[in-house]
């Protein structure tokens, strides 16, 4: 399988691009993380989202610990070729490490306060087990 | 109007965060750009999307040239407080400088080729006039 499609992407100085995960079917924006060339190649090859964890400095197969994997439906690229959009099916219905459906659960209200608009579906301590 | 809500955001080393613009009502992801503190403050204050243009090194009031402004419906923040999601109404129905509805018009096909899936709605030369 040729990897020339990866050459179209304008990786930043760190070899990364932002990757937005959108839920297939609902259009909900689940999260944004980062991908390097290898993680995007693996995303396509495995059919599941693989990101680059900047904090841990390693490949991060989404759901490797929680089981909340993201099944790939499509890979899209923006006009400037420096942002990736993946359409995914979110296993377990939980994308966020806080146990919520998606990560954008805070909304600014008219008084300038961040209000939590989305519930915790599962206690994170029940998702992530000490290893 | 107090700006303490801006202090919750974890700006990167350049003082920026990625900002995803999602179309209110349809859920379509229109584009991703960057915001600094001032652009996000102005987004709220004016009720229209204001980004920071990294290429031009200045504030970029979306639609300032094209007229394709983005009317703000909501500002959201992710769990790590380092990605913004704005819900907007896209004036003119065109967010992309190529004259398309949104910027993610290329999709990877099964043969590893980027295929354009969305049409040009208006010729860019008719959108942007030499000044």
B131 min Cα distance to partner chain A (Å): 23
How far is it, in rounded angstroms, from Cα B60 to Cα A108? 22
- Detail the DSSP E strand segments found in B24-113: 29-36, 50-53, 58-61, 70-77, 84-90, 106-108
Joined tokens for residue B83: 């990605």
* Cβ atoms B82, B12 nearer than 8 A: yes
pLDDT in tens, chain B (131 residues): 578 999 999 999 999 999 999 999 999 999 999 999 999 999 999 999 999 999 999 999 999 999 999 999 999 999 999 999 999 999 999 999 999 999 999 999 999 999 999 999 999 999 887 54
B39 min Cα distance to partner chain A (Å): 15
Q: What is the pLDDT of residues A47-67, one digit of tens each?
A: 999 999 999 999 999 999 999
How far is it, in rounded angstroms, from Cα B51 to Cα B57? 11
Interchain CB distance below 8 Å, A79 and B105:
yes
How far is it, in rounded angstroms, from Cα B115 to Cα B108? 6
Please say if the pLDDT value at position A130 is more than 70: no
Establish if A105 touches chain B: CB-CB under 8 angstroms.
yes
pLDDT of residue A55: 93
Query: In chain A, positions 61-100, which contact chain B (CB-CB < 8 Å)?
Result: 74-80, 83, 85, 96-98, 100
Domains and CATH numbers, chain B: 14-127 (3.10.20.810)
How far is it, in rounded angstroms, from Cα B128 to Cα B96? 12
- Binding residues of A for Zn(2+), as ranges, are 79, 96, 103
Establish if B110 touches chain A: CB-CB under 8 angstroms.
no
Residue B80 is assigned to a ligand binding site: yes
Neighbouring C-alpha atoms within 13 Å toward the C-beta of A57: 0
* Cβ atoms B41, B30 nearer than 8 A: no
pLDDT of residue B1: 57
Q: What is the β-pairing status of strands B50-53 and B58-61?
A: antiparallel
* A52-87 residues labelled b (16+ CB within 10 A) or e (exposed): beeeeeeebbbbeebebbbebeebbbbbeeebbbbb
Neighbouring C-alpha atoms within 13 Å toward the C-beta of B115: 10
Q: Which residue of B has its CA nearest to A82?
A: B32
Joined tokens for residue A28: 């909900």
How large is the ipTM?
0.96
Establish if A31 touches chain B: CB-CB under 8 angstroms.
yes
Instruction: Report, as an integer, the average pLDDT of A110-122.
Output: 97
How far is it, in rounded angstroms, from Cα A18 to Cα B94? 22
Joined tokens for residue B60: 């970029």
Which of A21, A6, A77 is CA-nearest to residue B103? A77
* Cβ atoms B24, B85 nearer than 8 A: no
pLDDT of residue A1: 57
Residue B79 is assigned to a ligand binding site: yes
pLDDT of residue B2: 75
Q: Which residue of B has its CA nearest to A102?
A: B78
């Amino acid at each position: 399988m040729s990897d020339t499609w990866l050459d179209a992407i304008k990786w930043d100085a760190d070899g990364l691009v932002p990757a937005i995960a959108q839920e297939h079917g609902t259009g909900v924006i689940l999260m944004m993380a980062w991908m390097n060339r290898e993680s995007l190649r693996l995303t396509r090859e495995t059919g599941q989202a693989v990101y680059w964890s900047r904090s841990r400095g390693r490949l991060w197969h989404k759901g490797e610990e929680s089981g909340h994997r993201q099944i790939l439906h499509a890979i899209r690229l923006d006009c400037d070729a420096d942002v990736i959009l993946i359409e995914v099916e979110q296993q377990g219905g939980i994308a966020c490490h806080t146990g919520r459906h998606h990560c954008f659960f805070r909304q600014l209200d008219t008084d300038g306060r961040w209000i939590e608009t989305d519930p915790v579906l599962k206690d994170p301590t029940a998702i992530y087990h000490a290893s």
